[in-house]
Structure 1
Amino acid sequence: MKRTIVLVISLLLIASLAMAGCSKGEDKPAAEDTGKTGEASEGTKEAGKDAPEAGAEPEVIKLRAFQSSFGEDPSNTGLYKAWLEKMEAHIGKKLDIEWTYVHSDDYPEKLKLQLASGDVPDILSGTKDAEIMFQFGNQGALLDIAPYIDEYAPNYKKFLESTQYAEKTLQTPEGKMFFFGDGFQNDTGMVDSAYGSLYRFDIFKKHNIKVPESWEEFYDAAVKLKELYPDVYPVNAQEWPPFHETFYYTNHTKGDIYWNGEKFVYGPTEEAFKEGIMYVHRMYKEKLLDPEFLTQSQDQLKQKVTTGKSFMIPFAWLGWWEQYSIPEQGIEWGAAILPKNEKYGEPWMQGAALPGLTAYPNYGTMISAKTKYPEIMVQLLDYQYSPEMIDLMTWGIEGMNYEVKDGKRVRIMDPSEEVKNAKLEWYGEGVTRQGFVFAPQNHAPDVSGYKDMPFYGKGQYESLNPFVGTGKFHSGKSAIPTWDLAPVIRLSKEDEAKKAQVMTAVKTYLDENLSKFILGERNFDEWSAFQDELTKIGDYQSIVDSMNELAIK
């Protein structure tokens, strides 16, 4: 009798639980399977919410990726395996990815052919020409990701929110977005650069000459060195960047159309531009500047600076200091920030690292409008903008790729055999860029890859990482060139073609005549006539006006 009562009670309990489950399910109709993988949690989607129960086979998402490549196959590295594991854990599904890699040299043309064919892979690398992405997006080949941002891309949304002019740069006038912009994260706390000036510190110390902090001091130091070494040209220039471009940054101008912080202008019409060219001419005329500075190669320059033929390079990539220095011979090259032009204030930085998070329109990643899984594709790309994935893909694994010293991460420059065997040693190397290219880059690991070098600033010599040096002796955001913060203008196809035709002709004539002014083949009394000649070569002002009409709406 007792067994019967127990059995009846058990059956009633099971029935009541089943009814409760059915009642709960009636609150919401069953959702159609669209690839949605869960709700947001602390800024990222809850990984694996739709993951199958233990023991069940996870759903497999098949997708095709058409990617720009820089050399080696990234899918044969330890980092790729770590990336794939995290991606699958994030969406709670297995990924079966068919990769097609195209070398970066051929990629722009092959991408256009792929997009025009109508057979568009699920995910594609973008190009530096954002117009291509907007063109094919407007034609219906690419997914408009704007409707998915709030729900499926919380990480990328943070990049958009912190990017100046994002609505003009990354969207169409109607608010459509056809690509994830190239992400950049700078958590160093500095606005810095790997460009500045290089000097023979041992020579400056020997003769008690001050390392220049202004263009007046630069000229005075060159004159003094010429007196001490009559057979030497104290000043020289790299093949790139050329000497006269120094003044783009110190005189706050440019040799092209640029954004001056308020509007677009044509730099060569500005007095600041002329002043820079006149300074270079003066150095050349007084035999302070190597006469071959316009034509020599980088190898020819290196031979001169390592044999005592030149002592000052006003504008250079600071990484060259080590190749220029010969410690056993007492040859010591070191760095400083660009000389200041008191008239224009703080010198700007070439390649300034913007603070915080930035989404650039140069390069990006696109999604096919025909993908079966739009939500999942957006989530996959968004996850690459998460702090976790940016750390993995730029720093790597602690103990293998970096270590923590004094509370800071430092890259391990000499990888172990274990790291080499696992192909984990080149996390940030361009030839094996990982994931769906272009994944965001973190500035801090790049900084940690540079050695400390001799650096001069504010009256003293120090040993500093070049980024730390430029960050220390510049004044933060005021050192960012205005053109690095400019709105990107989307001209019509006709206006873009007109701009290319006009500005190509104008630039060719400009470059030819700048050389003549610098070398004394044209007198600066002719500068006004030269300006008139530029106008006749091409109507650049109409281009400037059309760009401002779009930018200042």
Structure 2
Amino acid sequence: MFRRSWRHVATAAAALLAAASLVACSDDSADSQDLSENRVGAMENYAIGSQFKATEPVSFSVLYNNHPNYPLKNDWLFWSELKSRTNVTLEPVAVPLSDYNQKRSLLIGAGDAPLLIPKTYPPDVHAYVSSGAILPVSDYLDLMPNLKDKIEKWNLKPEMDTLRQQDGKFYLLPGLHEKPWHDYSLAVRTDILEELNLAVPKTWDELYTVLKAMKAAYPDVYPFSDRWSQPNPAGNLLNLLAVSYGLEGAGWNFQHVSWNAGTQKFEYTGATEQYKQLLQYLNKLVAEKLLDPESFTQTDDAARQKLANSKSFVIGANAQAVVNDYRPDLAATNPKAKIAKIPLPIGPAGEINPASRLENGMMISSKARDSKNFVAMMQFVDWLWYSDAGQEFARWGVEGTTFVKDAAGKATLAADVDMIGLNPGAPKHLQKDFGFANGVFAYGGKPELVQAFFSPEEQEFQQVMNARTPKSPPPPFPLSDEEREQVSLWETPLKDHVYQATLQFALGQRDFGQWDAYVNELKSKNMDAYLDTVNKAYERYRDEHN
């Protein structure tokens, strides 16, 4: 709901070992450090299930990602209720959503960053580690019982290990999900399926069969015309196919390397046999006029217009696009049309859920470690972002004011409060008027919390996806500063060439007989050196920390 997330998922390790190794991989634990001068305001017996409340009033600065859909208000109930419950006043340093990453970098570089720096994606952390500007938060997990508990109970150690730097520590407190939730897929005109007596396609091969039948019935139509192709050509479609073929990501989530569990090595994603196969699939759709060739470059508006005018029947989708874009578009042109998001088609990788259980998260300024309130701050962060009560508060607000609970404990919005159209016409809005369900504070948690504002239709979609096996994350391969600087010089030319060749192969402008030549072109752009660096970093980390 609040993000298109950085995505890696994991198989589980034993819960007890997870907690032990999290501490073991760090240089120190909080227990082994002298924090006697940093406990002002901290609770003596803070634990899982405790309501955190500082023993005296404290305040912490926070970088605030000011979203245009619900601009910051100082009189939000969120602020006053948070202070009442925790004795903490947050001092937001507001930055427009459009400038957030740039402003964050400037503030950290100048030494002026707030103590709490949320809305940070894992790859963004790399730039700040060597400067010492942010805290190695893995050293202080003993101060965060709710976070440790969720890592253990939800078997999140493999995912957490992907955050580790070369020193074995991690510098980001990520949002944690008990279950992965995958949003992006395809939307299909279900009235056309019914007209042609076709079942909802469950696999990419079945989608091909459905598109063939649609083309036979409507020869002047490209059955599939896609969106989300700018600035990355076929950004969403390529990523969906990549994860379905067992790769880490492509298109708008292009990942240079993918893990080969058989060889125990990383391979260059754009040069793998799987990538070739997914391009051959796309090429077949284009060659048979089942996929609109403009799908790779057209604007979203152009794709939506084709769907609305029945010039196409299939399009990339997420939950909000179906409700906010496609159904209103079709209602204006074809009121009898019906469209729905289908579960992600299954590919050669099998029935997997490719979504991550980690979300963007929190960096903490290294200045915080010297604060007399440091322990209280870590307890507060643990309560608001990781406790069940804190997560419910951040998302739902105040019982009796913004939401109510039934006898079984199920929460629903108060009748006079709206959120994404659940109470249309209600005079108040959960985000705009109260500050709850705010992407700075509300992310992660149990499925019933994360999916609280999902429609019944979307919850059914998630049930199908949650029944699938979570995709295992690749092992960590933290690079040194020198290695990171070197590979950054190789990445853009490599990615640009993959994008260019992807279009050529998919559109039939280049024959697959030239695949080996294409791979050699990648080698001329330092692909082998890139892979050598990554695999050596993986082996180094494996040998030092396992």
Which category of TM-score, normalised to the shorter sequence, fits these structures?
Answer: 0.7 to 0.9
Query: What is the distance in 2 between the residues matched to 1:191 and 1:116?
Result: 34
Tell me whether 258-267 or 167-176 shows the greater mean CA deviation. 167-176
The more displaced of 404-413 and 500-509 is: 404-413
* Equivalent position SS for 2:295: coil
What is the TM-score normalised by the length of structure 2? 0.76
Matched, 1:497 2:495: no
Q: Which amino acid aligns with 1:486?
A: P
Contact 1:226 1:233 in 2 (8 A): yes
SS in structure 2 of the partner of residue 183 of structure 1: strand
Corresponding residue number in structure 2 for 1:37: 42
**2:187 touches 2:322 (CA, 8 Å); kept in 1?**
yes
Alpha-carbon distance in structure 1 between the residues aligned to 2:366 and 2:223: 54
Which of the numbers 314, 320, 338 marks the counterpart of 1:332? 338
Q: 1:61 aligns to what?
A: 58
Amino acid at match of 2:451: V
Q: Which of 515, 520, 531 does residue 541 from structure 1 map onto?
A: 531
Contact 2:61 2:91 in 1 (8 A): yes
Deviates more, 1:168-177 or 1:281-290: 168-177
Aligned equivalents of 2:39 and 2:47: distance in 1?
Answer: 23
1:145-187 per-position Cα deviation (integer Å, ceiling 9, x unaligned): 555432x3212222444422366445555565545x122344x
Q: Over residues 375-412 of structure 1, what are the superposed CA-to-partner deviations in whole Å (9 max), with x where a residue is unaligned?
A: 22222222212211111001222344334468333345
C-alpha spacing 1:230/1:511, structure 2 compared with 1 (3 Å): same
Please list, as runs of the form range in 1=range in 2, the aligned pairs for 1:25-424 lying within 5 A after superposition: 34-35=39-40, 37-40=42-45, 42-43=47-48, 47=52, 51=55, 59-61=56-58, 63-71=60-68, 72-88=71-87, 95=88, 98-118=91-111, 121-125=114-118, 127-128=120-121, 129-137=124-132, 141-146=133-138, 148-150=140-142, 152-161=143-152, 162-165=155-158, 168-172=161-165, 174=167, 176=169, 178-179=171-172, 181-186=173-178, 191-240=180-229, 241-253=235-247, 254-255=249-250, 256-260=256-260, 263-313=265-315, 315-322=316-323, 323-325=325-327, 326=330, 329-341=335-347, 343-349=348-354, 352=355, 354=357, 363-366=362-365, 368=367, 369-384=369-384, 385-404=386-405, 407=408, 408-411=410-413, 413-414=422-423, 419=428, 424=433
Equivalence map 1:444-523=2 (5 Å): 444-452=448-456, 465-472=457-464, 475-476=467-468, 478=469, 480-482=470-472, 485-523=473-511
Q: In the alignment, residue 511 of structure 1 is paired with which amino acid?
A: Y
One-letter amino acid of the counterpart of residue 338, structure 1: L
Give per-residue Cα distances to partners, 1:113-135, cap 9 Å, x unaligned. 43444556444447331124423
* Alignment size in residue pairs: 472
Report how far residue 216 of structure 1 moved. 2.9
* Residues 202, 40 of structure 1: alpha-carbon distance in 2 compared, 3 angstrom cutoff: same
- Quickly say closer, same or farther: Cα 1:163–1:99, change in 2 above 3 A: same
* Structure 1 Cα separation of the partners of residues 78 and 513 of structure 2: 61
- In structure 2, distance between residues paired with 1:33 and 1:426: 31
Paired with 2:361 and 2:59, the residues of 1 have a C-alpha distance of 28
Identity %: 23
Q: Say if 1:404 and 1:410, in contact at 8 Å, map to a contact too.
A: yes
Shift of 1:516: 1.0
Whichever of the two has the greater Rg, that structure is 1
Q: Distance in 1 between matches of 2:257 and 2:37?
A: 52
Partner in structure 1 of residue 33 of structure 2: none
Q: Which runs of 5+ in 1 are unaligned?
A: 1-30, 52-58, 89-94, 453-464
Residue 104 of structure 1: how far off its partner (Å): 4.0
Of 119-128 and 517-526, more deviation after overlay is shown by: 119-128
Asked if structure 2 preserves the Cα contact closer than 8 Å seen for 1:126 and 1:365, the reply is no
Could you say what secondary structure the match of 2:337 adopts? coil
TM-score by length of 1: 0.75
The change in CA–CA distance for 1:317 and 1:198 in structure 2 (over 3 A counts) is same
Deviates more, 1:519-528 or 1:32-41: 32-41
Give the Å deviation of 1:506.
Answer: 0.8
Q: Take 1:170 and 1:541, find their aligned partners in 2: how far apart are those partners?
A: 20
- Contact 2:245/2:274 (<8 A) preserved: yes
Kept in 1, the 8 Å contact 2:185–2:318? The answer is yes
Deviations for 1:278-314, whole angstroms, at most 9, x for unmatched residues? 111111111111121112111111111111111123x
Q: By how many angstroms is 1:472 displaced?
A: 2.4
Q: Which runs of 5 or more structure 2 residues have no equivalent in the other structure?
A: 1-35, 230-234, 251-255, 415-421
Alignment CA distance shift 1:121-1:425 (3 Å): closer
Task: State the alpha-carbon separation in 1 of the partners of residues 194 and 166 from structure 2.
Answer: 58
Residue 215 of structure 1 deviates from its aligned partner by 2.8
Aligned to 1:461: none
Q: Using a 3 Å threshold, how does the CA distance of structure 1 residues 400 and 265 change in structure 2: closer, same or farther?
A: farther
| Displacement after TM superposition at 1:33 (Å) | 8.3
Q: What's the counterpart of residue 253 of structure 2?
A: none
- Deviation, 1:69, is 3.3
8 A contact 1:40–1:46 mirrored in 2: no
Q: Evaluate the alpha carbon distance shift between residue 207 and residue 158 of structure 1 in structure 2; reply closer, same or farther with a 3 A threshold.
A: same
